[in-house]
């Protein structure tokens, strides 16, 4: 991933989505050769010269002041995730060392695993910026049994989403899951563009999945801190879980994610059933184990009142 190309394509894509009316500018008729704002209009809104903005959009963000970047973010109406991404791109542009680093051998420390294991009423796991799952509690492994069916370790959310045919059944709203996955990887690529492991993952997905390539070209980014997740689990059916993501301060690049159910909901009951099933089987639920007659006892269907 070339930083200058990333900057150029990101700025051009953000400029293309804003019409002059949205920016409070006159449209000057309908004969506009490009979608969205012209470069000179962005320069006007940001308070810089057209020549300077052209230099920025060509990928020359190294040494640009924070005040100029903030003005550019306002002109392009960037949200918080996009603004942070622009700052990351500028920071990377000013880095003198641009050699690809070998993938870091990230591991979950014993104390972090003990913390995961102590969480019994919720699914919890640790992941890195490449969306590798590096550790989980029993309920987390059971919830993500479809990911763990892949023999490759560590299991990876992006590889599962785009390369495993089971993903479209596991995620009821697969398009949203796919969009979020790519946006998270795009955010990470701006933060750490010289991570060879990330580059190799993106290259693999780009070669093997047209659906990934299309989304990657959109340059969308997002922050993944809190929200609601929907799954269709092969054992307990539909579950709707709230999640919180917390950075592990002692382990840069790693995040702890905890998925909880609304108290009294059908999903809470399904999590209990899933936890009991996993504990009885002695290991994480997998589709293969779920298919074994002696292990798949009928589970009571939860109420359909559990809303997304």
Residue 167 has pLDDT above 90, yes or no: yes
- The reply to whether 110-290 shares the fold of 3-93 is no
For residues 152-174, give the mean pLDDT: 96
Q: How many CB atoms within 10 Å of residue 264?
A: 8
d(CA 45, CA 55): 16
Residue 51, token pair as written in the block:
């020549």
Q: How confident is the model at residue 277 (pLDDT cuts 50, 70, 90)?
A: confident
- Give residue 224's pLDDT band: very low, low, confident or very high (50, 70, 90): confident
Average pLDDT over the chain reads 87
pLDDT in tens, 125-161: 999 999 999 999 999 999 999 999 888 899 999 999 9
The model's confidence at residue 1, banded by pLDDT at 50, 70 and 90, is low
Q: Is the pLDDT of residue 308 over 70?
A: no
Closest CA to 103 of 196, 4, 34, 231: 196
Residues 6 or more apart whose CB falls under 8 angstroms from that of 262 comprise: 240, 242, 268
Rounded Cα–Cα distance for residues 197 and 186 (Å)? 14
User: How many H-runs (helices) and E-runs (strands) does the chain carry?
Assistant: 15, 5
Whole-number pLDDT of residue 26: 80
- Res. 279 pLDDT band, cuts 50 70 90: confident
> Beta-carbon neighbour count of residue 206 at 10 Å?
14
Q: Are 10 and 219 in contact (CB under 8 A)?
A: yes
Confidence of residue 276 (pLDDT cuts 50, 70, 90): confident
- Measured from the Cβ of residue 255, the count of other Cβ atoms closer than 10 Å reads 16
Chain CA centroid to CA 224, Å:
6
pTM of the model as a whole: 0.85
Non-local (6+) Cβ contacts of 24 within 8 A are none
**CA-CA distance, 49 to 108, in Å (whole number)?**
49
CA proximity to 128, closest of 6, 209, 248: 248
Nearest by Cα to 42 from 18, 75, 73: 75
Q: What is the pLDDT of residues 46-94, one digit of tens each?
A: 999 999 999 999 999 989 999 999 999 999 999 999 999 999 999 998 7
For the residues 250-266, what does the mean pLDDT come to? 96
Q: Provide the pLDDT confidence category of residue 29 given band limits of 50, 70 and 90.
A: low
Would you say residue 210 has pLDDT above 80? yes
Instruction: Give the three-state DSSP class for 45.
Output: helix
Note the residue count of the chain. 308
Query: Is a pLDDT exceeding 70 seen at residue 285?
Result: no
List the chain domain ranges: 3-93, 110-290
Q: At what angle do helices 3-16 and 50-57 cross, to 10 degrees?
A: 120
CA dihedral 136, 142, 148, 149 (to 10 degrees): 170
CATH 2.40.10.10 matches 3-93: no
Return the bridge partners of 232, or none. Answer: 238
- Among 98, 11, 94, 97, CA closest to 58: 11
Percent of the chain's residues with pLDDT above 70: 85
**18-27, 35-44, 154-163, 206-215: least confidently modelled range:** 18-27
Tell me what pLDDT residue 101 has.
53
The CATH topology of domain 110-290 is Beta-Lactamase (3.30.450)
pLDDT at residue 303, rounded to an integer: 33
Listed in sequence order, the residues at least 6 apart from 186 whose beta carbon sits closer than 8 Å to its beta carbon are 85, 216, 219, 220, 221
CB atoms within 10 A of CB 1: 17
- In this prediction, residues 267-277 reach a mean pLDDT of 92
Can you list the alpha helix ranges (DSSP code H) found in the chain?
3-16, 39-46, 50-57, 66-75, 80-93, 110-118, 138-143, 145-148, 157-163, 167-170, 174-191, 196-208, 210-216, 266-281, 287-290
């Amino acid at each position: 991933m070339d930083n200058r190309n990333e900057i150029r394509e990101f700025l051009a894509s953000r400029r293309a989505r804003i019409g002059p009316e949205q920016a409070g500018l006159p449209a000057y008729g309908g004969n506009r050769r490009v979608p969205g704002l012209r470069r000179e209009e962005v320069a006007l809104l940001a308070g810089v010269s057209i020549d300077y903005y052209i230099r920025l959009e060509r990928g020359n963000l190294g040494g640009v002041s924070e005040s100029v970047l903030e003005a550019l973010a306002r002109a392009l109406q960037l949200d918080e995730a996009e603004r942070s991404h622009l700052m990351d791109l500028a920071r990377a542009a000013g880095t003198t060392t641009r050699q690809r680093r070998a993938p870091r051998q990230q591991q979950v420390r014993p104390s972090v695993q003990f913390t995961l294991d102590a969480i019994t009423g919720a699914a919890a796991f640790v992941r890195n910026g490449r969306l590798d799952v590096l550790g989980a509690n029993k309920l987390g492994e059971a919830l993500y049994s479809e990911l763990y069916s892949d023999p490759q370790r560590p299991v990876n959310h992006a590889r599962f989403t785009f390369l495993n045919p089971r993903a479209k059944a596991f995620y009821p709203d697969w398009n949203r899951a796919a969009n979020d996955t790519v946006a998270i990887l795009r955010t990470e690529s701006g933060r750490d563009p010289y991570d060879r492991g990330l580059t190799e993952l993106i290259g693999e997905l780009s070669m093997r999945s047209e659906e990934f390539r299309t989304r990657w070209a959109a340059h969308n980014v997002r922050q993944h801190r809190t929200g609601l997740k929907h799954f269709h689990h092969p054992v307990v059916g539909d579950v709707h879980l709230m999640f919180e993501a917390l950075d592990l301060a002692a382990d840069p690049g790693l995040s702890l994610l905890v998925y909880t159910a609304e108290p009294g909901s059908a999903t809470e009951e399904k999590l209990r059933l899933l936890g009991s099933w996993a504990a009885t089987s002695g290991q994480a639920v997998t589709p293969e184990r779920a298919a074994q007659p002696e292990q798949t006892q009928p589970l009571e269907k939860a109420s359909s009142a559990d809303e997304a």
